[in-house]
Structure 1
Amino acid sequence: MSDKKSVLILNQHAPYGTSNARDALDVALTCSIFEMPVSLAFLGDGLFQLLKNHNTQQTGHKNIESMLSALPMYDIEKIFVCTEDLEANALSETDLGLPVKIISQSDLSKLLDSHDTVLTF
């Protein structure tokens, strides 16, 4: 059994407009560097962080796609989205830029309980 604390990072904000998305990814990458098992869940508006082909030219924000594409290199491969969020936004798994595990809203509490630390952004 690993003595490293597992971390679940909940991403609940749109990718741009605030620093929440970048901050969450920075924390995830930092935890991974210290060999902590990291999982990410993209909920509500956070789901939009995973969409392919972000166009940030007119927003003045840096595109987060390069940070997202680096996640597998840091062994961050447990990425979750809720079925209900996909359906509410008329999205499917093919609209997302990373492979994800789709869970139901009711399974979210099990996911939360399975981690030592939960951080919300």
Structure 2
Amino acid sequence: MAKSMLLISRHSPWSGTCARETLDIALAGGAFDLPIAMLFLDDGVFQLAAQQNPVVLQQKDLGANLQALPLFGVDEIYVCGESLVRRGLDSDSLALPAQALDAAALAALVDRYDLVITL
């Protein structure tokens, strides 16, 4: 049986390659039917913000990769509720449906997975 994996993305979409690499891992694992979930934490919640304009920063848009997650079997998408609030976002304004979790629920989530990778 395949081990379950939780990918934690903590970086904004424009702060380097970590955001893209985390999505690439999720899509690759999903292509092989691995049970994968994603958690967006800290500045990683900015990846889910709707209507981004990465061209201004001369960056590639991660929106297509995010929208492809469910197509690759990555249906469990979570976001830290506190991270959203601290950055002026709310779960209703995200480009992708994500379940907002509080601190206790985050700890329980991490305990559910065999492998936890933070990028």
TM-score (norm 2): 0.95
- Provide the rounded CA distance (Å) in 2 between the counterparts of 1:83 and 1:120: 18
Q: Which residue of the partner structure matches residue 44 of structure 1?
A: 42
Question: Which structure 2 segments of 5+ residues have no match?
Answer: none
Name the residue aligned to 1:110.
Answer: 108
User: Is the 2:33–2:73 contact (alpha carbons within 8 Å) kept by the matching residues of 1?
Assistant: no
* Greater helix proportion: 2
* Misfit runs of 4+, over 2 Å: none
Q: Structure 1 residue aligned with 2:79, among 78, 81, 86?
A: 81
Q: 84, 89, 92: which is aligned to 1:91?
A: 89
Residue number in structure 2 paired with 1:64 = 62
How many correspondences in the alignment? 119
* Structure 1 position 45, deviation (Å): 0.2
Work out the CA distance in 2 between the residues paired with 1:79 and 1:4.
19
The code of the aligned residue for 1:46 comes to: G
Instruction: State the Cα distance separating 1:58 from its structure 2 match.
Output: 2.0
Aligned equivalents of 1:76, 1:55: Cα separation in 2: 25
Offset of residue 70 of structure 1: 0.6
Q: Give, in angstroms, the shift of residue 17 of structure 1.
A: 2.5
Q: Secondary structure at the match of 1:30?
A: helix
Q: CA deviation digits over 1:60-107, x for unaligned, max 9?
A: 111100100111111111011122112212211121011111111122
Alpha-carbon RMSD: 0.9
Q: Which residue of 2 aligns with 1:19?
A: 17
Structure 1 unaligned residues grouped into runs of 5+: none
Q: Distance in 1 between matches of 2:31 and 2:89?
A: 32
